[in-house]
Structure 1
Amino acid sequence: MDGPVMVERDADAVEIGAVIIGDELLSGKRRDRHHAHLTEALAEKGLELSWIRIVGDSARLLTQTFRETLASGAEVFSFGGIGATPDDRTRACLSEALERPLQRHPEFVDLLERRFGDEAYPHRIRMAELPEGASLIPNPINGVPGFSCERHHCVPGFPSMAEPMVRWVLDQRFPQRNAEAGSVEESLILQNTTESSLVPVLEAMEAAFPDLRISCLPRMDRNAPRVELGVRGPRARVTEAHARLRQSLIEAGFLTH
């Protein structure tokens, strides 16, 4: 079975997004489970999710979404909408966004014919109509594949199928990566402190470490303000930045040691 081209990239250069499709998610009829599974699979490769979109079954909105995600250059995982019913619009909308025709993928046709026989026609065979140039993503659960096209990886809406298919794609795209290649985070908590009082310290940190993510998460702890500060990025840089942050907080009077 053909698959995504193997490409090894630096984590900092990889933007990874997710498009989760279905009116039932927007209405609250079902709850999304793909987000948690995807972030877990990405973490095993030392990668992170950059953004996520939940889109209904509107062809217009889905096509526009794909135009935007294609323009981003990101690796995108798309969940749902690849079945054979009229509301399964992922294939057609991605095809329109790509400005490429839908074509029956010969290997996909063969898989459907071998699995379903005469019952592959006239409806199930529609699942084999993919955007020109698409490659298949194997489905270890029921054998009906997803597909990849232009860094967009389209898998079923069923989490039990989607999860192993996502992991297969990640193994193909990032074969040498593991969790050790990813970002780390160090944090500290300040009691009886407001986020606004920390602005000068945080601005200085962002100026000194523009390659890292400096976060400030305020909380209320028994009616007392509490702030969690975080530094995230490559291990060596995070260690350096965390030491600088602690020293800055001591100098500003927020910490005593």
Structure 2
Amino acid sequence: MTPDSTPLSTSDLRPGFRLIIVGDEILSGKRADKHLSKVIELLKARGLALDHAEYVGDDPERITAVLKRAFESGDVVFSTGGVGATPDDHTRQCAARALGVALALHPQAKELIKQRMQDMALEQGKVYDATAVENLHRLNMGVFPLGARVIPNPYNKIPGFSVAQVHFLPGFPVMAWPMIEWVLDTQYAHLFQTQAWLERSVIVMGAMEVTLTPLMERLEQQHPGIKVFSLPSVDHSQWGRHIELGVKGAPELVASAYAALMAGLALFDLKLGPELVRT
């Protein structure tokens, strides 16, 4: 188990949160992924946590399989990348295939893309030509699976889209991140966890997790609402080989659980280091 100061509801109270990152450029190392850490941050700010993350290259069969699992999961899923209109962009088509539905130009997306093209023409001092080949091609970015809903893009108006609880966004962070925030704040605010949350832990020197597992299990059984975590380290610059062992939950529950944890550790011949508190 790993520590996380973000409160988690049980699965029957909220869906999980997933992230799918699409693109050969990430897997090849040409670009470094920035979405994972940011999505964790955005969720944590709302009292939520990321439950699953997955990377997939620009292979239509793999993308389709990943998206099929996403639709079937019942989780809230954010998928970044592959929603453009170039030959290596497959996400829109794969989403439709995973759902077993057709693709169609979304009326609202069409209007937003036209607005963007008009803005571009104005910026360049040109007259917007709706029949120009490049402008007709850009409309492909608004071709979504039937039944999709638009996600507004505050950066350049080119929208993303949602189907059920799976949300499709561009790969560019400057676009994707505010779009993710919009989805969270407009569709999932009822899931936000705003109650106080506390985490207390202690550094345990030289112990093995297997030795401490019975104590951890007993704490969770005897203290409902508390989560016990263990974070081992083998080469810490200050504490060397150690385990950070702790409990987290509502402050009024943490105090008694942590006292029980320390009492349990006292039965072992262990060297304890600093005690840590996170809110």
- Alignment-derived partner of residue 199 in structure 2: 185
Q: Secondary structure at the match of 1:49?
A: coil
User: Quick one: structure 1 residues 109 and 210, their matched pair in 2 at CA, closer, same or farther if it must change by over 3 Å?
Assistant: same
**TM-score scaled by length of structure 2:** 0.80
- Alignment-derived partner of residue 3 in structure 2: none
- Alignment-derived partner of residue 52 in structure 2: 51
Is 1:72 the counterpart of 2:88 in the alignment? Answer: no
Is 1:195 the counterpart of 2:209 in the alignment? Answer: yes
- Alignment-derived partner of residue 267 in structure 2: 251
- Alignment-derived partner of residue 128 in structure 1: 142
Is 1:242 the counterpart of 2:243 in the alignment? Answer: no
- Alignment-derived partner of residue 171 in structure 2: 157
- Alignment-derived partner of residue 140 in structure 1: 154
Q: How far apart in 1 are the matches of 2:83 and 2:251?
A: 40
For 2:266, the aligned partner's letter is I
Is 1:230 the counterpart of 2:246 in the alignment? Answer: yes
Q: How far apart in 2 are the matches of 1:84 and 1:46?
A: 36
Q: Highest CA radius of gyration, 1 or 2?
A: 2
For 1:39, the aligned partner's letter is I
- Alignment-derived partner of residue 3 in structure 1: none
Give a deviation string over 1:184-211, Cα, whole Å, max 9, x none.
4322111233333323322323443575
Is 1:172 the counterpart of 2:173 in the alignment? Answer: no
Q: Secondary structure at the match of 1:180?
A: coil
In 2, are the aligned partners of 1:43 and 1:182 still within 8 Å (CA)?
no
Q: Any unmatched runs of 5+ in structure 2? A: 1-7, 118-127, 273-279
For 2:212, the aligned partner's letter is L
Shift of 1:213: 3.6
Q: Any unmatched runs of 5+ in structure 1? A: 1-9
User: Quick one: structure 1 residues 50 and 34, their matched pair in 2 at CA, closer, same or farther if it must change by over 3 Å?
Assistant: same
Larger mean Cα displacement after TM superposition, 245-254 or 125-134: 245-254
Q: How far apart in 1 are the matches of 2:175 and 2:203?
A: 40
For 2:260, the aligned partner's letter is R
Q: How far apart in 1 are the matches of 2:48 and 2:255?
A: 19
Q: Secondary structure at the match of 2:136?
A: coil
User: Quick one: structure 1 residues 21 and 224, their matched pair in 2 at CA, closer, same or farther if it must change by over 3 Å?
Assistant: closer
In 1, are the aligned partners of 2:204 and 2:244 still within 8 Å (CA)?
yes
Shift of 1:134: 0.8
Is 1:205 the counterpart of 2:206 in the alignment? Answer: no
> Number of paired residues?
247
Q: How far apart in 1 are the matches of 2:256 and 2:221?
A: 14
Is 1:103 the counterpart of 2:104 in the alignment? Answer: yes
For 1:45, the aligned partner's letter is R
Q: How far apart in 2 are the matches of 1:90 and 1:54?
A: 13
In 2, are the aligned partners of 1:42 and 1:48 still within 8 Å (CA)?
yes
The Cα RMSD (Å) is 2.4
Q: How far apart in 2 are the matches of 1:231 and 1:199?
A: 13
Q: How far apart in 2 are the matches of 1:189 and 1:45?
A: 28
For 2:247, the aligned partner's letter is V
In 2, are the aligned partners of 1:46 and 1:182 still within 8 Å (CA)?
no
- Alignment-derived partner of residue 5 in structure 1: none
Q: How far apart in 2 are the matches of 1:225 and 1:55?
A: 35
Shift of 1:55: 0.6
